[in-house]
Structure 1
Amino acid sequence: MSELHRKLVIVGDGACGKTCLLIVFSKGTFPDIYVPTVFENYVKNITVDGRNVELALWDTAGQEDYDRLRPLSYPDAHVILICYSIDSIDSLENIEEKWYPEVKSFCPNL
Structure 2
Amino acid sequence: MASAVRKKLVIVGDGACGKTCLLIVFSKDQFPKVYVPTVFENYVADIEVELALWDTAGQEDYDRLRPLSYPDTDVVLLCYSIDSPDSFENIPEKWLPEVDTMSS
Q: TM-score category by the smaller chain?
A: over 0.9
Given candidates 68, 74, 77, the residue that maps to 1:78 is 74
Distance apart, 1:2 and its partner CA: 2.5
Alignment match, 1:49:
none
SS of the residue aligned with 1:104?
A: helix
SS of the residue aligned with 1:87?
A: coil
Which amino acid letter does the alignment assign opposite residue 66 of structure 1? Y
SS of the residue aligned with 1:44?
A: strand
- Structure having the higher strand fraction is 1
**Which residues in structure 2 correspond to 1:20-35 (within 5 Å)?**
20-35=21-36
TM-score between both structures, scaled by the size of structure 2: 0.96
Alignment match, 2:38:
37
Runs of 4+ in 1 over 6 A off after TM superposition: none
Q: Could you list the runs of 5+ residues in structure 1 that have no partner in the other structure?
A: 47-51
The answer to whether 1:87 aligns with 2:83 is: yes
Which amino acid letter does the alignment assign opposite residue 107 of structure 1? S
Q: Could you list the runs of 5+ residues in structure 2 that have no partner in the other structure?
A: none
Distance apart, 1:32 and its partner CA: 1.0
Which amino acid letter does the alignment assign opposite residue 82 of structure 1? L
Given candidates 41, 45, 51, the residue that maps to 1:55 is 51
TM-score between both structures, scaled by the size of structure 1: 0.91
Distance apart, 1:44 and its partner CA: 1.5
**CA distance in structure 2 between the aligned counterparts of 1:103 and 1:90, rounded to whole angstroms:** 18
Which amino acid letter does the alignment assign opposite residue 31 of structure 1? P
**CA distance in structure 1 between the aligned counterparts of 2:89 and 2:74, rounded to whole angstroms:** 24
